[in-house]
Amino acid sequence: MTTVHKGSGLLKRIRHLDWTPLLLIWAVSIFYCFFCLYLQINALGHTGYYTYTLQALAWRNGKLALDHDYTWLELAIYEGKYYVSFPPVPSIPLFFLTFLFNDKTPDGFLVKLYVLIGCLSVYGLLRRKEYGRASAAGAALLCSFAGCLLSMTTNGAVWYQAQTLGYCLTMLSLMLALSGHMTPSLLFYALSVGCRPFDVVFGFVLLAIYIRECRNKEVSFKKACIRLIPGVVLGLCVAAGYGIYNYARFGNPFEFGHNYLPEFSFQGGIQFSVSHIAKNFKTFVLSLPFSKNGTNLELKRFGFNFLIASPVFTVMLVRIIRDCIFRKMNMEKIVLCACFVIQLLMLLMHRTFGGFQFGARYTCDLLPYAAAYFAFSDRKRLNAFEWAVLAFAAAFAVYGAAQILLS
């Protein structure tokens, strides 16, 4: 009788386990198998735009510069040497992978893995905020795979590795902050800045979360500050590493190398300028997805309205409007909205805003704000409108990613 009782107890515990993360992993894996098979692309393989792998191989040889120019890559030219012009963190996992794969690293697998981890992080943080399994999974998919971020996972090129890893690290940071683990949260946040420097703005959202948690638990100001010290020290150590790395290459702790790209260093282009905002706003905030080619409509390859490209932002906007109408805005939501607008304006100052793409690639850096707003909301579920948006967004993202690859 005791054996039967123990066995039935084990089965009961198994039935009550949350299998949704495994279901998400299975569903995403099956999707990519069929999607990549249909498009006849290698789902896991190496890319020709392997700048981060080259950087990792240079590190293994004790060098900061690459051995020679690679004309098809965006390399910074400084004092006659060729350097990677992107922040360094995405080269760290590739450093270890080069011992197994040399220069043929599985770039296509990495971008998919990064977004999948980000998706699972969104699920985890929303479950912690009392969302049901279905709504948490739906919101996680809406943030991760039902927008123009999906298009980046079809190619492991250098630009997409930076954005997908930045997404992964920021979502992990958010999940840990909402779980009360600020030290690892701040570490992941600092690492995300080493993928996408403007992610530094999201730190104010993490701080707002921490302040709220301390108030809810009636933690004194002094004790709250003391608890932050390990995470802040870790983050500052990471930031110091960036500064030393940049100074060793370019003599400037704040220079990652983009200013030494030929298009900005001697061809007359300006990388960041207030003058770029109007043009980018017209394209990435006001523009529709299709343009006329004779009597046919064609998907725009150089960007369009980010609210349509990643409809999770439309859902976020509707929730913000609802909260304003019903006076449910609080300190965390106000900080989040302010940081969102600031980071969007900073992105709009970039000359190209990502170039050839589906949707509005740079705005994928803002997806953690949408996940955070879901977490802050009083309504802990998706309504019928939001489920409909998810269905539309997923279909449009698959269509758009396929069109970009087939064009």
Counting residues of the chain whose pLDDT is more than 90, the rounded percentage is: 76
pLDDT-based confidence at residue 2 (cuts at 50, 70, 90): low
For every residue of 267-292, DSSP letters joined together read S---SB-TTHHHHHHIIIII--SEEE
Are 143 and 312 contacting, i.e. CB atoms less than 8 angstroms apart? yes
pLDDT-based confidence at residue 267 (cuts at 50, 70, 90): low
Structure tokens belonging to residue 383:
């309504």
Quickly tell me which residue has 């965006």 as its tokens.
74
| Spatial distance between the Cα atoms of 158 and 90, rounded to a whole number of angstroms | 9
| Spatial distance between the Cα atoms of 365 and 188, rounded to a whole number of angstroms | 15
| Spatial distance between the Cα atoms of 238 and 190, rounded to a whole number of angstroms | 6
**Residue 98 confidence (pLDDT) above 90:** yes
Q: For 334-383, what is each residue's pLDDT tens digit?
A: 999 999 999 999 999 988 887 778 999 999 999 999 999 999 999 999 99
**Residue 1 confidence (pLDDT) above 70:** no
Q: For 165-199, what is each residue's pLDDT tens digit?
A: 999 999 999 999 999 999 999 999 999 999 999 99
Q: For 122-145, what is each residue's pLDDT tens digit?
A: 999 999 999 999 999 999 999 999
**Residue 3 confidence (pLDDT) above 60:** no
